Amino acid sequence: MEFIYEAERIYVKGEDGRMEAEVTFHQRSDRAVSIDHTYVSPELRGQGAAGKLMAAAARRFRQRELKVVPVCSYAVAWFQDHPEEADLLK
């Protein structure tokens, strides 16, 4: 699974070029972002794609020394299931 990084999203394209999974986030302040949306296509559901996207986002935020406010329900649940990432939470 190859991630494509943009300013406010990380996503995956399928072989046909269409977007198959994504996590979006928006700058809340100079040091914080909110994760407001995750999407996984029906073809990728159940294969861990959303979790891999969240892990990639967490690495990116940590590298940039950003705090996170999870807004979408998947992001909230992911951070609850990954207490090792709690230092990222604002």
pLDDT digits (tens, 9 = 90+) for 9-61: 999 999 999 999 999 999 999 999 999 999 999 999 999 999 999 999 999 99
pLDDT at 85 over 90: yes
Q: What is the pTM of this model?
A: 0.92
State the pLDDT confidence band at 2, using cuts at 50, 70 and 90: very high
Angular region, 81: left φ>0, alpha ψ -120 to 50, beta rest: alpha
pLDDT digits (tens, 9 = 90+) for 61-73: 999 999 999 999 9
Query: Would you state the pLDDT for residue 1?
Result: 82
- Of how many residues is the chain composed? 90
Domain 4-88 has CATH 3.20.20.70: no
pLDDT digits (tens, 9 = 90+) for 5-20: 999 999 999 999 999 9
SS3 66: coil
